[in-house]
């Protein structure tokens, strides 16, 4: 469905991505991991259209979207939830979630009432429905991350990109969120790609497949347990034996 082909991205003399290729199928659950500065967020920015690569291509269902702007990619079914949510604090939780429905693939095709109904469904999924009428500015940081997820899901995406969504969450909430994401992916047939830097328990509980970036290069890719047991990963990234 989504294919990144030999993408290179530079910032001046710094090569942030070097000939990176990645394929994500419909409904797949993949984790993109690597230490800080490995190129993970840059890769998501290239996929979502924030950055244009110096070389390489990005395809969605066979269509070249390498130079398609972010708002058009959103309409085509690429949604993104950011590490630091920035909701409209003066709008309710429900209204914030509905924005995703109004400006995604359903743009111009649904009414505000229908968008609010979609938002209600997604808020129930993430566990924020009881707070739907509260102002978003009153939510806790973990709740804001759930709202960011509900907003992205309300756009009815084909693929959902998550940027370090579990960062700062307690272990019990990480486990719950990973189970929730797996259920959403299965029920809604959405491909989910999440960036994870340190929280390996999230990788184990969520991902079917893992891609590892190091200094802008993809060094490993494969089934989760195989990748996490690879000696290269232990040496370069984890620095110790890891049990999965």
pLDDT (tens digit, 9 = 90+) per residue, 126-148?
Answer: 999 999 999 999 999 889 999 99
pLDDT at 243 over 50: no
pTM over 0.85: yes
Q: Check if CATH label 3.40.50.1000 holds for domain 1-69+165-177+191-243.
A: no
Residue 23 has pLDDT above 60, yes or no: yes
- Paired with 162 in beta bridges are 81, 194
User: What pLDDT digit, counting tens, does each position of 33-87 carry?
Assistant: 988 889 999 999 999 999 999 999 999 999 999 999 999 999 999 999 887 888 9
Write down the pLDDT at residue 242: 46
pLDDT bracket for residue 238 (50, 70, 90)? low
- The residues, any chain, with a CB within 8 Å of residue 81's CB and separated by 6 or more, are 145, 148, 149, 151, 152, 160, 161, 162, 163, 165
User: What is the Cα–Cα distance from 32 to 241, expressed in whole angstroms?
Assistant: 19
Contacts of 204 (CB under 8 A, 6+ apart): 224, 228, 244
Domain ranges (residues) in the chain: 1-69+165-177+191-243, 78-156
pLDDT, tens digit, 9 for 90 and up, residues 176-226: 889 999 999 998 899 999 888 777 888 888 999 999 999 999 999 999 999
């Amino acid at each position: 469905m989504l294919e990144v082909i030999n993408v290179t991205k530079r910032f001046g003399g710094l090569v942030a991505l070097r000939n990176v290729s990645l394929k994500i199928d419909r409904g797949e659950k993949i984790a993109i991991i690597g230490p800080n500065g490995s190129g993970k967020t840059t890769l998501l920015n290239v996929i979502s259209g924030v950055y244009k690569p110096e070389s390489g291509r990005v395809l969605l269902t066979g269509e070249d979207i390498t130079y398609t702007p972010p708002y058009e990619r959103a309409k085509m079914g690429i949604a993104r939830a950011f590490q630091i949510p920035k909701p409209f604090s003066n709008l309710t939780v429900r209204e914030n979630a509905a924005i995703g429905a109004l400006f995604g693939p359903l743009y111009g095709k649904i009414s505000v009432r229908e968008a609010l109904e979609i938002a209600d469904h997604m808020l129930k999924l993430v566990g924020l429905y009881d707070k739907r009428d509260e102002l978003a500015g009153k939510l806790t940081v973990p709740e804001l991350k759930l709202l960011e997820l509900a907003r992205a899901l309300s756009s009815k995406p084909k693929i959902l990109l998550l940027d370090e969504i579990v960062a700062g969450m307690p272990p019990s909430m990480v486990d719950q969120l990973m189970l929730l994401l797996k259920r959403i992916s299965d029920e809604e047939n959405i491909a989910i790609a999440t960036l994870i830097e340190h929280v390996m328990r999230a990788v184990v509980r969520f991902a079917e497949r893992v891609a590892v970036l190091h200094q802008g290069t993809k060094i490993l890719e494969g089934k989760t347990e195989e990748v996490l047991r690879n000696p290269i990963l232990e040496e370069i990234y984890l620095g110790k034996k890891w049990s999965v």
